[in-house]
Structure 1
């Protein structure tokens, strides 16, 4: 192992991979870390719009410990004046801010603004921020689909900012890393699309499967439904229960299909079936595909495709990835199987829906946009049990 210190970053070369972290010698706590700069590198000033849901608080958790970020403002129309740590005691001593009204947050003075909001909010607010030179990172679905009419059909309202769709970059780093580096409008992928797409990218890029015959069977924890009060999210409804939903069509279907078609270079045939399972965090996607052409070593294909990816872990033959193994992390774990006499290949993909499926992927994208080593702020080990 070789360590090299360059301009405030410690680069560690190990097993063919370069890892990077901030050298924090003498830094003993969040409050003691300089707020305006670290080791001569300017801090990124960020605002968060709508941080009262599960995705928002996860974003706050990650950004509070990010060595290159200063959280400038956290907005909420309904909870303005409330201390962030009052609503989320887990952030006591880490985020010393109150929620403020968006109009009073002076978001146009931030370097980047995250939207952890319901669909349609970023449509109205993104344009003025972009015009002011602010980079926008949207965790809603507002800019994921490139077709405004398709978006309106699936989200039940007209698209409010179609003029920005051509500039928005779909924020899956494993697919669009170089485009993310140069964009100022990042559309963070959905949680189901992340788990499904990562399990299929190597196969489609290599032309190794029939693109007309893809089945994505996915299960999600209840936090994926958001923090709003609803009968279907009650403990008595979810506990000891397991159910499918969205069988006739789910909003993530066109997003997944758009990504897979881009990689395949043609439309794909996709059946997507989501399920709700009685756990808080996690997505498990079981992907059924039919190999095409000559037989090949699929294990080697995945290992090579993801060899230099810091947040994708390809497990060995016979493995079964578990959602608990990625809880609280930005990691996707993948394994492959060949069911007996089925003619199918099965890819198993697991993520934490709130991290790699939302907030962590947004921070990963921010790092790329600002030229920071990609893994910064995202190196925590999984929480177990």
Structure 2
């Protein structure tokens, strides 16, 4: 297979292993450990100095390579991404149902395309926490489904489907009496836990359909959670590659995969929280930096905020900017917004152009149609919190926030190629 095809198959394996943000962090940690990285405990002292390390904070993971010649003023090259995706999260007292059907009480997480979740076999995945604080990952396999109403009972459905998030987004998971069934107990028993010991949980729904390459020449790729596991995976593979042949004079290469971006990033493991700054300060301390030297290092640092973006939709071209219309397999996006919903500026754009040229990768510019307000990313949050120059980029997608998104086979691997150059280069 080509390099792009190898990358896309590995991305498929990563997405499949990552039905929740906690699984995404765990799978990244597994891969990093296999590549010689060491997991550090935030509650313990760190020795500092050169090396390959990572920490996990809930559903976030921060990993870094400190080169052998790093000093107190060595800058940080950070690729920021996020591990979470729009979904549905289990509510308290999740076992519900009526008319002999068991249902699950769920709350909408982020901004999913609701209709894309209908009539799919879904799993529940996340973490269960016992009374003593022990955390256990769980993934149920196919268990749930949001059954759509038959067209015979709603003849106008094809003229406009409107779904009530409370009334109509209640997945079914079995036949029986909700008074005697126990959905949480089913999850606990599946991982060998006593249901009576479960005191807390963070569990979401995830599509179980396997990722697939398709198209006339195998040029398209469909999968759940490409926003934003495509970026996490690109950064992960690039960091592992750089860790194998680190540039001794290079920057400290950092992968920051945050949680909770889809709901605003305001958490202890989100980009608004202190997790990245905590790690950077401790790396800096390990290199013997004073506060002044740390600020000098931050002033020469650079952040690539990597999050999925929009390709032009052939059925809705009027929704896109008339002059800037990125296409699938045209290369990663440089995302630009005058109102700083993306953090890209002219200096950052020029740096991104240099990195892509060095990597031999084409890129495309993305800007929104003026009447279509764009989303945002962790980029502006990171730039504001740390004062580090930041540029927003990402893989072009169709069907963003669908249960199953679509990209070109070439683009994720190209993003990883640029990330590898970025991690080893003083920008």
Q: TM-score band, normalised by the shorter chain?
A: under 0.3
Tell me the TM-score normalized by structure 1: 0.28
Tell me the TM-score normalized by structure 2: 0.25
- Structure with max Cα Rg: 2
Higher relative contact order at CA 8 Å, sep ≥6: structure 1 or structure 2? 2
